[in-house]
Amino acid sequence: MAVYFHEEDLPEGVLAPGPVAVDTETMGLITPRDRLCLVQISDGRGDEHLVRFAPGSNFAAPNLKAVLADQDRLKLYHFARFDLAAIEHYLGVVAAPVFCTKIASKLIRTYTDRHGLKNLVQELLGADMSKQQQSSDWGAPVITEAQREYAASDVRFLHAMHTILVERLEREGRLAIAQACFDFLPTRARLDLAGWAEKDIFSHE
């Protein structure tokens, strides 16, 4: 197992075929304002790849974009809504099809209101992960080893959790409605980018 750090693009051919776990780090939570700094990606075989984008980047990244835009590759996220918006806004691709572990958790772990990645990893896999670097300067000239390990851990467990969550969704008869939610997520991300992030257009008001 290793964490690989790349500048501006993913090297060609470093990922095995099949689903990939994806996450992003940005300068903040307002996507058009707070630039994309890092994309983390893993094929679930033990290595994580981090792609860093510098200030003023043109976000060309042809190899990374090809993987993210590949409709034959399932993309695994935790809170896909945010990552999809950041990827589409800065890289110009729709990183689907989607499986979101947070949405899956909310649909089948109805016995708790704790759906954070750390909570899921602890319950489903019996592992601990540190969130110490969650609020740090991802645009800094140097990404520290602690930051790299934190970023890598955000995609490290998603493949294993995906397997467990699919089994539970099937057990509770909620896989079809989960899939419908996942299919809608790229549209939900576009609504966020277009200014409807805080407005529930499905409500009566």
Domain ranges of the chain: 3-196
Assign domain 3-196 to its CATH architecture.
Answer: 2-Layer Sandwich (3.30)
Residue 65 CA to residue 98 CA, distance in Å, equals 15
| pLDDT for residue 120 | 96
| pLDDT for residue 43 | 98
* Predicted structure pTM score: 0.95
| pLDDT for residue 130 | 74
| pLDDT for residue 133 | 62
Q: Can you list the pairs that 71-75 forms with residues at least 24 positions away whose Cβ atoms lie under 8 Å?
A: 71/96, 71/97, 73/17, 73/18, 73/19, 73/20, 73/97, 74/18, 74/19, 74/20, 74/98, 74/99, 75/19, 75/20, 75/21, 75/22, 75/99
Q: Which residues are CB-neighbours of 185 under 8 A, at least 6 positions away?
A: 80, 81, 84, 96, 98, 100, 103
- Tell me the per-residue pLDDT of 2-48, one tens digit each, with 9 for 90 and over: 999 999 999 999 999 999 999 999 999 999 999 999 999 999 999 99
Task: Give the residues of the chain that fall short of pLDDT 50.
Answer: none
